[in-house]
Each structure stands twice: as C-alpha cells, then as structure tokens.
Amino acid sequence: MLKILIKDEIDSLVAEELKKRGFLVQEGDNRLESIFQEVQQSEILIVRSTTRVTKKVIDAALQTGLLKVIIRAGVGVDNIEVDYARAKGIKVFNTPEASSISVAELALAHMFVLARKMIPANFTMRQGEWNKNKFLGVELSCKTLGIIGMGRIGQVLGQKAGALGMRIIYCDVINHEGIDGSWQYLSLQEVLRQADIISIHASAEGSDGYLIDEPQFKIMKKSAFIINTARGKLVNEEALLNALEKRDIAGAGIDVYCEEPCKNIALLQHERISVTPHIGASTREAQFKIGLEIIRLIEEYQKSKNCEEQE
C-alpha cells in the first residue's frame, strides 16, 4: 500500500480523497524536526512552504530508501533541495497552475490598498478619527503596471490589470508563449524606470543576491509602489525600508519575507507598507485546485509504478 506523508496543512479533502482511493495517509507531527523519522516511513511527501526539505532530510529518507516522490503544494520549490533529491532518484513535483488567480488577485488587492491609502484610513478610523480630507489617493486606471516575471501568475495579473485600464509592461528571462501582443517587453531597468506599480512574479530558484536592492529602488519613480507576492529573498528588506524613509518610492505591498514568520517589526509596522502573512494561495478555490492536482500526480505515480512492476 502506498504510504503518503502530509507534513504541512493542506485542504482536508485531499487526505479524505486519498484514503478513499486506498492510500495510507499520515498527517505529520506539528514539530518540524520529526520529519527526519517520518520520511523514512513514507513513499510520498507532501509539503507547502513551511517545511524545508533539506539535504539532511533527504539523507534521512535514503536510510530506508522508501521515499520516491516529493510534492510541493504550491508554486515555488525553493524550500526543497530539488537537484539533490533528483540526483538521489527522488522525483519532485509542484502545482504551478492551481493558485495563479488567487496570487494575482492578492497582488491587485495590495495595489488598491496602497493607491487608496486604506491602511492609515482604516487605522485612524478605528482610533475614532474622521480624516476625510487626509487620504488623497490615486486611480489605478491609466497607470503603468510593470510585471517582473510573465509566467502564469504574471499573465493572469496582466489580464486583470488591463481590464482596469492599466498599461502593461514586463520583463522576463524566459520567452513565454501566448502573451498579449499589446503588452510591451522591456529590460528590467526600463520596467523599473517607467512603471507606476511594479509587481514581482519571478522565481527565486538559482538567484544570486537580491533582484531588487538599493540601486533598483533608485531607478523607480518616487510615486511608485512595489508589490512582492513571489519570494521574500528577491527584495532586500532593509533597502526597501531605506527607500521608503528617503521617499525614493511611495509604498510597498508584501506577502513574502526573507524570514518567515517575519520578525522585522519596522517592516511590519511601516505605515506605507501593506503586509499579509504569505497568503497568496490561501483561498478556498486555490486550495481545492491544489488538492486536485496533488491527487492527479499521486495517481499518475501509482500507475507508473504498477506498470514498472508488471514489466
């Protein structure tokens, strides 16, 4: 019987559906360190972003040789030593399409929050103040949105932002197919220079240093907002705070952090930063679709395994 370890919290229906299909499902201990023993008893490991599948975890699994598949319930796999796992004969999968709409909508939500100064407006109202004339915002319509990384999420965001009347410019290291012909491809430097709002949807895998650091903030418009719903290590948080203090940029929307849970109090409490606790894929719809994709991957693995045993 196929043994599956679900280490991080995912849609509860996933475990139920897998059990109905005859798989032996174990929901992991809340302690992260218990994974070293758990992977020795599991053929498939399912994680989200909390659990780090390091070389030590993989080496622990190799002691029994039972672990054959790691599934990341989400897009990024930077919490998994992918190359090392594959070199040891362990397959690694993710679910890249399931959360595209949810992440794109969160990026849009941060844009609205910043554009309409909803953080200080909300806070002061809760303090009993009525500062109707203090919060002069801007419209998103006719603004230029610069998307860094025009993959699935970037394209969904571009479509939604275009419907709001925004001009779309973008940069990417990959030439993706099917991109709207009205969107303009530019260098990273030109995207940063021209955009009123910059939204990051790039991968952090294999990256050296920060994608956005002090020199990049200097290029941006002083009225610009930057949104990061991709990976925390793409943006230098101290450089971001300095840029805000020096008024080099107007604000930021952040869902991902260099360290999670984030302990950077200056970042979390800054009045011109909209913060959320890595909730890009945290919608009912995204989690349901992620669950369906996980089940499909496991069933495909089972079929492949059965075929190999019959040969």
pLDDT tens-digit profile, the chain (311 residues): 899 999 998 888 888 999 999 899 998 887 878 999 999 999 999 999 889 999 999 999 999 999 999 999 988 898 999 999 999 999 999 998 899 999 999 999 999 999 999 999 999 999 999 999 999 999 999 999 999 999 999 999 999 999 999 999 999 998 888 899 999 999 999 999 999 999 999 987 766 789 999 999 999 999 999 999 999 999 999 999 999 999 999 999 999 999 999 999 999 999 999 999 999 999 999 999 999 999 999 999 999 888 877 76
d(CA 100, CA 38): 31
- Do 239 and 304 share a domain, yes or no? no
The model carries a pTM of 0.89
Dist. CA 168–CA 163, nearest whole Å: 11
Shared domain for 229 and 298, answered yes or no, is no
DSSP calls for 145-210: EEEE--SHHHHHHHHHHHHTT-EEEEE-SS--SS--TTSEE--HHHHHHH-SEEEE----TT--S-
Check 43, 237, 278, 293 and give the catalytic one: 278
129 and 81, same structural domain?
Answer: no
Say whether both 84 and 131 belong to one domain. no
Q: Which domain holds residue 212?
A: 100-275
Q: Give yes or no: residues 296 and 194 share one domain.
A: no
The whole-number pLDDT of residue 206 equals 63
Per-residue pLDDT, 243? 98
In the three-class reduction of DSSP (H, G, I as helix; E, B as strand; rest coil), residue 263 is classed as coil
Do 30 and 162 reside in the same domain of the chain? no
126 and 271 in a common domain: yes
Quick check: is 176 catalytic? no
Q: Are residues 12 and 120 in the same domain?
A: no
- Do residues 170 and 259 share a domain? yes
**Cis ω before 261 (30° cut-off from 0):** yes
231 catalytically annotated: yes
Q: What is the CATH number of the domain that holds 177?
A: 3.40.50.720
Instruction: Choose, from 72, 152, 201, 231, the residue flagged as catalytic.
Output: 231
User: Which position among 9, 97, 260, 300 bears the catalytic label?
Assistant: 260
Q: In this structure, are 66 and 180 located in the same domain?
A: no
Are residues 238 and 304 both part of a single domain? no
Nearest Cα residue to 254 out of 129, 17, 234: 234
Verify that 269 and 195 share a domain, yes or no.
yes
Q: What is the pLDDT of residue 31?
A: 83
